[in-house]
Amino acid sequence: MELSYQQEIEDLINDIENIVNNIIAMLSIHYNLDIIFE
């Protein structure tokens, strides 16, 4: 149970990180801000 629970949390964190990265990418393209990726 502990391992599967931890895996679910890691998957959730990965999903959130992907969403955040997508939003940052869209914003940087929209505003032409390459500074964010540094």
Per-residue confidence (pLDDT) for residue 34, from 0 to 100: 62
Measure the CA–CA gap between 36 and 33, rounded to whole angstroms.
6
How many residues can be counted in the chain? Answer: 38
pLDDT digits (tens, 9 = 90+) for 1-38: 577 899 999 999 999 999 999 999 898 887 776 655 55
Domain assignments of the chain as residue spans, ordered by start: 1-26
Handedness of CA 31, 34, 37, 38 (dihedral sign): negative
Measure the CA–CA gap between 30 and 20, rounded to whole angstroms.
15
Per-residue confidence (pLDDT) for residue 1, from 0 to 100: 57
